[in-house]
Amino acid sequence: MQSHESIVTLAMRGDGDMPMTQGTAIDLLEKIVKDQRTIIEEVTGKPAAATPQLWALYKEVQDYYDKGMRVPDDVTVLLCDDNWGNVRKLPKLDAQPHAGGYGMYYHFDYVGGPRNYKWLNTNAIPRVWEQMHLAYSYNVKNIWIVNVGDIKPMEFPISFFLDYAWSPDRITANDLKKYTEQWSASTFGAAHAKGIAEVIADYSKYISRRKPEMLDADTYSFHYNEWPRIIKEYRDLLKKAEAIGAALPAQYHDAYFQLVLHPVKASANLNEMYYYVALNKRAYAQRWAVANEYADSVKKLYANDSLITLAYHQLNGGKWNHMMSQKHIGYKGWQEPAVQKMPEVFYVSADEVKAMVDSNIKTRKATYPKKFLANSFHEQNGYVSIAADHFTRAFNSNGITWNILPDHGKTGNAITVFPVTAKAQVPAGNAPHLEYEFYSYSSGTFDIKAYFSPTLNFHQAPNGLQYAISIDDEAPQIVSINKEEKPNEGGIVYGWVGPNIIIKNSTHLVSRAGKHIVKFWMVDPAVVLQKLVLDFGGLKPSYLGPEETINTR
């Protein structure tokens, strides 16, 4: 340490990021902490409390804290996320004061299950803002640390994390678009800042839907035109990014490629490759000759992945050589493969070829009542889909307000209540809730699937974080979004962090076709809703869920 300004980390973990012993050896760890503080005093010649210290509750270490272990009051307790950007634990507002305060250890990059993610920036700042705003609101204010892995892909989110940490009260959710524009202007000049900011925001949303290392041909569905829609989004974004790059002054070209164009180009190419793998699998199953064309496209796109990386490494005389050498194709488990390997494709022999026919399943044609209004949500092919921010009415009460989180989530905006420290509410009467009008031509029992950001049970409440939902005048059903969560990683949590969503189901009844109202009630704060999908029996599997069923005529 010498004279450097340092924070000393206390306690101990086992070898190889594993628990130190079987069970929670609280007595042993407390003795280790005591001995470490004695060493600090011997070396510095000052009381231990005069040297800043922290205790990191990373992974299994949080078990010690949850089972009662404590450190001296002057030591900062460093809380952690789940390695995927979701805060695991926060102090309660009425907790006994802790003089050393609390900190947060957050991840932009990770080596571990369910899979490494190390290649590109996959961190959308609206989600980073929402989780760190949550931490700050619960008095986690002393130390913020972010694990960025390789710095080069992370320069934009690093800038945001540090700027937000410097003054959290000065950046709201509604300021994030302006922040991205200001960052773009300071980096590339004002002339194209707005367009560059749009590219960064769209790229961040698209890539955060699924880490590239977890992406494969089965990620997206052909239902609801999902795969083609994803590819069109990336193609349009790449075209926009390339046009801006071409218009920038020459002095910005290398930096623009590294910071903006490369991640868009590389991600677009990767998604396109898996899209053609999916097309190849589908065509081969039918023994269509076009399967061979799709297989050839996969080979070209796989090779192009390396060429895009090579272009990055050759910039400015090789200034950033090897920076993008991270393997990202061919994962079989959580750890990266020894070498990249092209996804398997299949070729149809001449004697196997069958005529290609229209295999699209014809869906039933809905007969809509004449009273349907323009810009109303309606049942279509047995389902209704509504974005969370497209509510009909919002009811605020008890000092609690509904707030849209712009660009937060996998497909659009999200919505939550402020303050995030509000007390739990009883879902009845004028309690805070949202109403969503829709029209159905079905009646009877149906399901509502509510899509949530993967917020964890950060107070370890017995019932987790809860919401309530009802149709028309029925009694609200209270549902937990994360009661099943276990303290450490694995199991059901992997099913949330990989898809970056939690989907909860409730069953309801309507006795007639026509106009109805979904009521979404606040129970606990910090629940972030992204969309609602009502399934009357026609919903098909897809990664993002169907697009909104809004009547525009």
- Domain residue ranges in the chain: 8-173, 181-352, 376-551
The CATH code belonging to domain 181-352 is 1.20.58.2150
Closest CA to 135 of 174, 167, 89: 89
Whole-number pLDDT of residue 366? 45
504 beta partners: 450
Closest CA to 508 of 447, 437, 427, 439: 447
Positive/negative CA dihedral, 117, 225, 389, 423: negative
The pLDDT tens digits of the residues spanning 451-473 come to 999 999 999 999 999 999 999 99
The CATH code belonging to domain 8-173 is 3.20.20.520
Closest CA to 533 of 469, 467, 448: 448
Contacts of 550 (CB under 8 A, 6+ apart): 375, 376, 377, 378, 390
Cite the beta strand spans of 339-481 per DSSP E: 376-378, 383-387, 393-395, 401-405, 414-418, 433-440, 444-452, 466-471, 477-480
Question: Across residues 54-82, what is the average pLDDT?
Answer: 94
Cα gap 506→480, rounded to integer Å: 11
Whole-number pLDDT of residue 361? 42
pTM value surpassing 0.85: yes
**Proportion of the chain above pLDDT 70, given as a percent:** 94
Helix, strand, coil share (%) of the chain residues, nearest 5: 35, 20, 45
The pLDDT tens digits of the residues spanning 340-367 come to 999 999 999 999 998 776 544 444 444 4
The pLDDT tens digits of the residues spanning 290-318 come to 999 999 999 999 999 999 999 999 999 99
Give the other-Cβ count within 10 Å of 370's Cβ.
Answer: 4
Total count of residues recorded for the chain: 553
Tokens for 66? 């949850």
Cα gap 88→232, rounded to integer Å: 36
**Given a cut of 90, is residue 485 above it in pLDDT?**
no
Helices (H) and strands (E) in the chain, counts: 11, 18
Q: What angle do CA 477, 479, 482 make, to 5 degrees?
A: 180
Whole-number pLDDT of residue 490? 63
Q: Which residue is listed with tokens 């950046």?
A: 171
Positive/negative CA dihedral, 161, 167, 172, 176: negative
Domain 376-551, CATH number (from 3.90.1150.10, 2.40.160.10, 1.10.357.10, 2.60.120.1620):
2.60.120.1620
The pLDDT tens digits of the residues spanning 376-400 come to 899 999 999 999 999 999 999 999 9
Whole-number pLDDT of residue 489? 55
Whole-number pLDDT of residue 362? 45
Alpha-carbon distances of 503 from 46, 134, 206, 291, rounded to whole Å: 53, 21, 19, 34
